[in-house]
Structures are given as C-alpha cells and as structure tokens.
C-alpha cells in the first residue's frame, strides 16, 4: 500500500490506520539512524513551523525545535503571551493568518476543539502536541521505543496503570488497539475512560486482532510485557492532588506490582515528568530509566518523522 501523508494533520491517532502509523515509525527509525551518523536532513529546508504553547513543556517544545532545525526548517515559538488564541482573536482567524505565514503548526494546549479548528481553517498540517483529550506524538514515541525493545508490536501485552481517563490513557488505548497490541487499563472505576472511546478502541482492536480490557484489579498485570504509568494529576488538576493520591495509591507501579506479572522481561515506561513516590517508586523508575529516557529521546525522532512525512 502506498502511503501519502502530505498535507495531513495529526490531531489524534484515530485518524491514522495501521499502515500509516507503521510508515511514521519506520521513517522515525531511519531519521534516528541518520542523525546518529551525523547525516543532516533537508526534509524541512525552507519551511517555517509555528509552535503554539498554551501549556509549558520540556520534551514537546525541545523535540519540535530540534527536529525542525535538524531538517533545515525554522521553528517559531508562540507562547501564551505572544498570541491570544480564542481570546483577543478567534481561533479560526488566527488559523487563517498562521496558515498564510507558516508551512505547519504545532499546538499544545487545553482544548481539542482548538487544535481541530486550527487544522480546519489554516490550510497547512497541524500537529497535536498535547490537549486535555489526546497526546498522539507521545504515543508514536512510545510505540517506537517498544518496537526497539521487542522487535515488534503485534501480540504484545500492554498494561496501563493509574489515572485511566487522562490524555495518555486515551491515546495509548487508541495506539495499542490500532497496532494489534493487547491493551489492559487498570484504574479505579471513577477514573475509567468514557464508554464511547472504549467502544471505538474495541472496534480498532477487532480489526487488528487484539483485545481491550478495562479493570480495577491490579492482578490483571499478569503476563504484561509493558507496564505504563503517568502522573496522577494532569496539568490544571493540582487542586485534586490529595484526593488522587488517596484514590490511586493502590495502583502505584512498584516492586510488588512487578512480581504480579510472573515475567522477568517486563519493562516499565513513563511519559515524564514523573512524581516519584506517587505513580512510580524511585527504585522502579531507576531500574527502567534507560527505557524511559529512550522514550523521551524518541519524541524528537517521531516528531521529526511526522513533520517530514506530512509537509
């Protein structure tokens, strides 16, 4: 199957099929190898990229900036004090202005509706660097990391433990179900994903030959190849910290949880930043730190593939 992503936006991985995701992962692997060989790319030569950040960022901002520069493009950072998206000027009008000036737009903020409007009205590829609902560029980095560690994706048992209704849980369920990975989410029932998304992902999983399992029982980590966790309070939810810690303490990724996998080759992953002592212990984090920071580096390689592939 020929893959042509030119002009396509990445708003959520729902909109990409398995072949397209595989293409981006393979391209990312190729670009990663070239970077390590010192081969400079020209995939974005003469291109200008707008980087809109309503929320602060370490990995996303640095990954987009370095990836764009590596490929000969110019990244322009636009913080919340530089443009007033949806306040002083409508999202639609901002999109039409930026689309006249830039060849691609990254958006990291709160509203999924905002990134969708940017894509609809700008006329250039738009990439979701994180919204309250989805975080697709992180999932591509996670999939590349898993493929590097296991040599495959299909048939692996992926278990997410913790806050099951945040953007990471949503996006990982989509990514795994698209790629044929068995996905188990373990969280208290109050923090399960919405039924509509679960049903969508079950349809994706049926097509790819995998299984979606939602549970509140940590015994379900048995036979996990990958255990994944994320912070218990996402950005903007700091007032819920005490409540979340009390609710999620039984779902901490620790040595005891790892013994329940009944496997010796399980890996642990985290999208960072980590609150060690909450969702993951310092001991387990350090044990799998090589995997976790490979994952962080792969943000840049997969984001580079997205920009090159769609521009």
57 is in an annotated binding site: yes
138 is in an annotated binding site: yes
CA 194 to chain CA centroid, Å, is 18
Q: Is 138 a catalytic residue?
A: yes
Q: Is 61 a catalytic residue?
A: no
Rounded Cα distance between 106 and 229, Å, is 25
Q: What are the residue boundaries of the structural domains of the chain, listed by start?
A: 13-135+298-310, 138-296
> Model confidence over 179-223: pLDDT tens digits?
999 999 999 999 999 999 999 999 999 999 999 999 999 999 999
> Model confidence over 234-255: pLDDT tens digits?
767 778 889 999 999 999 999 9
Q: How confident is the model at residue 85 (pLDDT cuts 50, 70, 90)?
A: confident
Active-site pick, 244, 270, 299, 301: 299
Output the pLDDT for position 87. Answer: 82
108 is in an annotated binding site: yes
165 is in an annotated binding site: no
Domains 13-135+298-310 and 138-296 share a fold: yes
61 is in an annotated binding site: no
Active-site pick, 135, 244, 270, 301: 135
> Model confidence over 21-32: pLDDT tens digits?
999 999 999 999
Output the pLDDT for position 239. Answer: 82
**Counts of helices then strands in the chain (DSSP H, E):** 11, 9
Fold classification of 13-135+298-310 is Rossmann fold (3.40.50)
Q: How confident is the model at residue 287 (pLDDT cuts 50, 70, 90)?
A: very high
More confidently predicted of 81 and 32: 32
Output the pLDDT for position 12. Answer: 98
Active-site pick, 68, 70, 108, 133: 108
Rounded Cα distance between 171 and 159, Å, is 13
Q: Is 230 a catalytic residue?
A: yes
Output the pLDDT for position 240. Answer: 81
138-296 is classed CATH 3.40.50.280: no
Alpha carbon separation from 197 to 67, 164, 182, 245 (Å, rounded) = 31, 12, 16, 25
137 is in an annotated binding site: yes
Give the list of residues 6+ apart from residue 288 with CB closer than 8 angstroms, or none: 267, 268, 269
* pLDDT surpasses 90 at 115: yes
* pLDDT surpasses 70 at 1: no
Q: Is 36 a catalytic residue?
A: no
């Amino acid at each position: 199957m020929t893959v042509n992503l030119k002009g396509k936006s990445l708003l959520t991985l729902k909109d990409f099929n398995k072949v397209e995701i595989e293409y981006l992962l393979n391209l990312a692997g190729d670009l990663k190898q070239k970077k390590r060989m010192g081969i400079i790319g020209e995939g974005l030569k003469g291109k200008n990229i707008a980087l809109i950040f309503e929320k602060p960022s370490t990995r996303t901002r640095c990954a987009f900036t370095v990836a764009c520069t590596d490929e000969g493009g110019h990244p322009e950072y636009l913080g919340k004090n530089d443009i007033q998206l949806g306040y002083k000027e409508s999202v639609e009008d901002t999109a039409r202005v930026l689309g006249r000036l830039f060849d691609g737009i990254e958006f990291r903020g709160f509203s999924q509706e905002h990134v969708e409007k940017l894509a609809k009205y700008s006329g250039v590829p738009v990439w979701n660097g994180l919204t309250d609902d989805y975080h697709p560029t992180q999932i591509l980095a996670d999939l590349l990391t898993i493929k590097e560690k296991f040599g495959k994706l299909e048939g692996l048992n992926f278990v997410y433990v913790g806050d099951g209704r945040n953007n990471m849980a949503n996006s990982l369920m989509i990514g795994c179900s698209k790629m044929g990975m068995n996905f188990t989410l373990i969280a208290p029932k109050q923090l399960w994903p919405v039924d509509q998304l679960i049903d969508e992902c079950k349809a994706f999983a049926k097509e790819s030959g995998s299984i979606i399992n939602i549970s509140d029982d940590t015994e379900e980590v048995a036979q996990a190849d990958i255990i994944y966790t994320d912070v218990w309070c996402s950005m903007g939810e700091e007032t819920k910290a005490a409540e979340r810690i009390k609710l999620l303490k039984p779902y901490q990724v620790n040595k005891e949880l790892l013994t329940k996998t009944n496997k010796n080759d399980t890996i642990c992953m985290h999208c960072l930043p980590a609150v060690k002592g909450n969702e993951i212990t310092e001991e387990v984090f350090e044990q799998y730190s090589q995997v976790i920071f490979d994952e962080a580096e792969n943000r840049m390689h997969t984001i580079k593939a997205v920009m090159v592939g769609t521009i």
